[in-house]
Structure 1
């Protein structure tokens, strides 16, 4: 029995020594930062630091840093899925209609089926004599198909549950609406499941991006149903800006074909661009007034009333002169002054100005077909001899909506450099090199073969990073993103590294929108540390003095358990890389009080046993046994409350719950187990008088 007790005490002693050694680095911070030691000079002996190198991290309220909160826009992501399903369904449904009509087949050998062009397929669902059905997206979870024409009743039989689950989603529901119309929708239960998956995947992507940037103590967790909270304590100003850039980029990599054949969209919108420019930055009433004055000026110009034209122009200039920011949008085309690209496009100084024009004019007026989109590129205008003209601007690209190859097929990416043969960019310029997986390599090979001499847009989100002409088939399973040379080499290298980090750690499964961006300065952290430490030292000091005066030797044992309780809590926090915040310090103070309360209950129970005449050993054994359930009940209720806070809260409350939960476990261990082992050790050493 004595051997078993010695083993337990030895194990307890070794565990306590390990916990103390584990937390010592926390109280000896690193020295100044230099080139050899970017994290600071280690003040501990090297042999010691190699074994015990972990230090307790402090939260934003203590160390300062950056807190970002993003909202996951799952509805936009799901709508994109529905749009893609709509395109796939159109493609496959046309195939079934062709098969039903026995159209395009060689009667002599049906294996030699005629391959329809995209234009021929489009004729089946576009307005015209050959139209057989229409399909459109209703919402982020539903789409609608309507069969038209004399064969509508026969054609709709092709649309069954099996076909829908194969071409749309395995859980999609088909519902007849009458008049040859059908809705295809995802059930709410599936929507909630997909939302949860998107948030979870986005959270993991954010965590990988933060950790790959060299931050070893980030705190990334879900906050509610669709929000993600990222806390990065103690990071520098330059690192803050880098993290904003890394986390703010969705980085959905796609490869699309530039539509050079249909120039009617951008070639015929010169008037729309001028009208948008006239009304940029003014109110609706002022815009209407400008339009009326323009009409009057045009009419007076026709009849030769030059003075009236000048008056109208002056009034327009007065209205437009009060706007805070002047428009920079311009319509460009071949032989247009100031434009040097041999194509039609719209340009502006900022991307937001271009986006406003596209959304408020082209999209709202349905001037962009459903199978096309507009991409944006940052570039520097070049003359025909290759020399740069002016500063960086943004321009539009007219693209086919269909994604030929997606970023999901990219196996790896890295930063590379151009060779001396890259005349357009120059030698030794940073680029991003991509390697596709086996399936992606086959897709890329097929696409480059099909669209030789066409331009392929390599896009990150809605930004065209480069649009090279496919001079020949590319079958090596690799590609290159050229970032251009509009900025400095350092800026381009930083951008390339950011893109590589994002691509290698995955694109977001849904767009993210920043809802909070808070910086906490180090002055606030220093003040709160001093206040929290002072409160903890004063509180523990008063408790220690009270226990010594009231319980004497038993008070010494209780105080030892109290100090070990704090040491165990800190060791566990360090081991699990948990940040200590001001609410966390409050949680530690609360557990100190609970630990003392447990010792008071036990000591009073032992006193009662001594009063009825039991021996010291028997009184200690009986007192601990009878006090156990009282102490356990008090701690289990607190632990339950802490678990609820831990499970359903975020931020400071979450850290309070973590510290409180750890503290409850440690206080139970030190008050019930450690102190009892100490008393048993005293008794075994012949101590017969212990005052309780």
Structure 2
């Protein structure tokens, strides 16, 4: 035997040892209880010091270990409307800098309507928009106003960008959540597929992934009387669907408006205005299951126009009886301009309030980037003694009074005190997670939901493993019966091939799915097929009267290109499936590609080394084939 032969043996030995080493974490992974397999720290604690890390292992897919399958729809129209509104604000600021008097913008769906102090200023504003904002185009004009909207190509790009950003944000949230090997992919034009293997809480998953986490800071207008005017007009006119109900409270009669089954009342609160003045801003409360819808209906159809550059803000009144629900809502009159958004948040942490009397209540601490910190300091400095509403997902979270300019770029969000302590802790942690991972650019809806039960996974694993075992045993027996010792050599290569495939999948932290198991079985069959071709070629050469050594050389030499061509065509198909497939199809493709590469090594290289050893090293004078 020459030196090259021993190098070949050394290579095969090294491959076997490395494969076994790579499979150590997978072995310990399956020793863990199913509910602990997605906790890397548990696996890390079990592993020997010489073993690879916990991430070097084979994972089980959604169909094998159970989990959650969701398809999320991205509301790209809402994202576009928000961008249109912000674009209008940007244009107004730009126009002021260019000397346009009293420029105003009002977003109306997918367009922005502009006005100014007079015809000359309006004409100047129109020219500025058309000259310096080439992504907009005119869509109409009226006396004293003109409207623009995004160009069609820009609309398409913005919608696609919204879906891509939503995909990235969802991936960030899932990654921070610690779910092992999730599947997060774009589906169609405005949908996202999310699969969370091993996760068993669909309600929490939907809450985490569906929470838009649009954080905005807006100033409260405590000097406006809009809600008082609205209530009095509604009470006087009583439009269809609205009635008055009088109740006696503490010996005093009080009127309520009944809308959609909700009870709407007019109240006043004490607030401090600029210069220390005392204000009593009016606000509405609506109690009942339809409280929010009732208030929105009153504002929309009440007959009193919302003041310019003002908008409705709603705050949940926590229920004292039901967890995670509102017994009603109250209103705020907010300035429309968004002073600061969650885009400036660089860190969000759930902390406990250790101040006296707080009882360790959880809250979320926010840190802004340098630009956001400067803006926050300016905003708080310009609005001392006014209230700033913290608006999360179009709901006012709180509206604290700005006592003084706040430097340092920090703020905090308090949580309701009526919930159980652990619920507050979980809510704070989830809110911090979504704020830190970023806000979704648009609302998402659950279009499809499917939960794979914990009992289905193990059953599929057992059935799949049984199918693989039966198939492999039958192939092993077939090879020995038909090709005798040459078949036994092929069987050794087949077992080694299976070892290499699983080790390679573990090395890349791949996920095993049912289609993956199918690809595994197919690749084993292709490996055996290669040895069938080789053995049949050797038989033909022996029939021609060649010596065993010459027949071996000719058999491997002539069968090689046939095997190579067949594997190459299958490999091309595998890469096509990998690039254009999704979910289970990709799992099948990955397993197929790895299996083909492994079979080329074992079926040709390993079996040739063993046959050379039998003929030369052991001195066999014939080939048992």
Deviation digits for residues 519-548 of structure 1 (CA, Å, limit 9, x no counterpart): 111222222222211211111111111111
Q: Quick one: which of 194, 207, 219 aligns to 2:171?
A: 207
**Distance in structure 2 (CA, Å) of the matches to 1:634 and 1:588:** 17
Shift of 1:177: 6.5
Unaligned runs of 5+ residues in structure 2 are 246-257, 270-279
Distance 2:53 2:335 in 1: 58
Q: Which residue is 2:262 aligned to?
A: 328
* Structure 1 residues 58 and 155, CA gap change in structure 2 (3 angstroms): same
**Distance in 2, Cα, partners of 1:275 & 1:654:** 64
Q: Is 1:198 aligned with 2:162?
A: yes
1:399 aligns with 2:338: no
- 2:533 paired with 1:598: no
Question: In 2, distance between residues paired with 1:195 and 1:150?
Answer: 35
Equivalent residue for 1:249, pick from 211, 216, 225: 211
Alignment of 1:354-369 (within 5 A): 354-363=291-300, 367-368=305-306
Q: Report the 3-state secondary structure (helix = DSSP H, G, I; strand = E; otherwise coil) of the residue aligned with 2:69.
A: strand
1:545-560 equivalences under 5 Å are: 545-560=477-492
SS of residue in 1 equivalent to 2:428: helix
Task: Please point out which of 224, 241, 266 is paired with 2:188.
Answer: 224
Aligned partner of 2:124 in structure 1 is 155
Aligned to 1:302: none
| Counterpart selection for 1:346 from 276, 285, 299 | 285
Alpha-carbon separation, structure 2, partners of 1:365 and 1:412: 42
Question: Which stretch shifts more, 227-236 or 174-183?
Answer: 174-183
Q: C-alpha offsets along residues 438-464 of structure 1, whole Å, 9 cap, x if unaligned?
A: 111110111011111111011222122
Q: Find out whether 1:379 has 2:380 as its counterpart.
A: no
In 2, distance between residues paired with 1:241 and 1:593? 43
Contact kept, 8 Å, 1:203 with 1:220, in 2: the verdict is: yes
Report the CA distance shift for 1:20/1:96 in structure 2 as closer, same or farther (over 3 A).
same
1:267-314 per-residue CA deviation (whole Å, 9 max, x = no partner) reads 4136759999985xxxxxxxxxxx8xx79x9xxxxxxxxxxxxxxxxx
Report the equivalent of 2:621: 688
Moved more, 440-449 or 222-231: 222-231
Q: CA offsets per residue over residues 360-416 of structure 1, 9 Å max, x none?
A: 55347784457333333223599xxxxxxx985333322222111111212212222
Contact kept in structure 2, 1:174 and 1:183, CA below 8 Å: yes
Distance apart, 1:355 and its partner CA: 4.2
Aligned partner of residue 497 in structure 1, secondary structure = helix
Secondary structure of the 1:235 match is coil
Distance 1:588 1:175, change over 3 A: same
Residue 260 of structure 1 aligns to a residue whose secondary structure is coil
Q: How does 1:266-281 map to 2 (within 5 A)?
A: 267-269=229-231, 279=241
The answer for unaligned runs of 5 or more in structure 1 is: 104-120, 126-133, 166-171, 280-290, 298-319, 336-340, 383-389
Report how far residue 40 of structure 1 moved: 5.7
Question: Using a 3 Å threshold, how does the CA distance of structure 1 residues 691 and 192 change in structure 2: closer, same or farther?
Answer: farther
Structure 1 residues 60 and 90, CA gap change in structure 2 (3 angstroms): same
Q: Summarize deviations over 1:181-236 as a string: whole Å, max 9, x none.
A: 56442342x44444444333332322222232232333333333332222222234
Within 1, Cα distance between the matches of 2:352 and 2:46? 42
Query: Aligned partners of 1:234, 1:66: CA distance in 2, in Å?
Result: 8
Give distance in 2, aligned partners of 1:329 and 1:601. Answer: 83
Please name the residue that 2:504 is paired with: 572
Cα–Cα, structure 1 residues 680 and 138, in superposed 2: closer, same or farther, change >3 Å? same
- Equivalent residue number for residue 185 of structure 1: 150
Residues 643/51 of structure 1: CA separation in 2 closer, same or farther (3 Å cut): closer
Q: Does the C-alpha gap of structure 1 residues 40 and 471 become closer, same or farther in structure 2, counting only changes over 3 Å?
A: closer
State the secondary structure of the residue aligned to 1:471.
coil
1:11 match: secondary structure: helix
Correspondence list, 1:578-617, <5 A: 578-617=510-549
Q: TM-score, normalised by structure 1?
A: 0.76
Distance 1:157 1:502, change over 3 A: closer
CA distance in 1, matches of 2:46, 2:554: 47
Number of residues of Structure 1 aligned to a counterpart in Structure 2? 591
The answer as to whether partners of 1:277 and 1:329 remain within 8 angstroms in 2 is no
Choose from 98, 101, 112 the match for 1:96.
98
CA deviations 1:5-28 (Å, max 9, x no partner) are 422331222112221332254345
Q: Contact 1:143–1:184 at 8 Å: present in 2 too?
A: yes
Among residues 383, 398, 415, which one is paired with 1:483 in the alignment?
Answer: 415
Question: For the residues of structure 1 that align with 2:599 and 2:129, how far apart are their CA atoms?
Answer: 64
CA offset at residue 4 of structure 1? 3.6
- Select 1:65's aligned residue among 53, 64, 67: 67
Tell me what 1:416 maps to. 351
- Give yes or no for contact 1:449–1:472 (8 Å, CA) kept in 2: yes
Aligned with 1:508: secondary structure? coil
TM-score by structure 2 length?
Answer: 0.84
Which residues of 2 match residues 537-552 of structure 1 at below 5 A? 537-552=469-484
Among 387, 391, 409, the alignment partner of 1:459 is 391
For residues 418 and 19 of structure 2, the distance between their equivalents in structure 1, rounded to whole angstroms, comes to 56
Q: How does 1:442-521 map to 2 (within 5 A)?
A: 442-521=374-453
CA apart distance, 1:343: 3.0
**Residues 153 and 81 of structure 1: is their aligned pair in 2 closer, same or farther, counting only changes over 3 Å?**
closer
Q: 1:42 to 1:184 in 2, by over 3 A?
A: closer
Q: Following TM superposition, where does structure 1 have runs of at least 4 consecutive aligned residues deviating by more than 6 angstroms? A: 41-45, 176-180, 273-278
Say if 1:53 and 1:460 are closer, same or farther in 2 by CA, change over 3 A.
Answer: closer
Q: Which residue matches 1:164?
A: 133
Give the RMSD, CA atoms, in angstroms: 3.6
Q: Where in structure 2 are the equivalents of 1:670-689 lying within 5 Å?
A: 670-685=602-617, 686-689=619-622
Q: Cα 1:12–1:137, aligned 2, differ >3 Å: closer, same or farther?
A: farther
Query: Aligned equivalents of 1:278 and 1:153: distance in 2?
Result: 40
> Could you tell me whether the CA contact under 8 Å between 1:223 and 1:650 is conserved in 2?
no
Structure 1 pair 592–360 and aligned structure 2 pair: CA distance change class (3 A): farther
With over 3 angstroms needed to count, the CA separation of the structure-2 counterparts of 1:234 and 1:178, relative to structure 1, is: closer
> Which secondary structure does the structure 2 equivalent of 1:155 belong to?
helix
User: Structure 1 492/626 Cα, relative in aligned 2: closer, same or farther at 3 Å?
Assistant: same
Aligned pair in 2 of structure 1 residues 659, 361: CA closer, same or farther (>3 Å)? farther
Compared with structure 1, are the counterparts of its residues 396 and 271 closer, same or farther at alpha carbon in structure 2 (3 Å cutoff)? same
Indicate the residue corresponding to 1:300 in structure 2.
none
- The answer (yes or no) to whether the contact 1:144–1:184 under 8 Å persists in 2 is no
Alignment check: 8 A CA contact 2:74 2:163 kept: yes
Is the 8 Å Cα contact of residues 645 and 654 (structure 1) preserved in structure 2?
yes
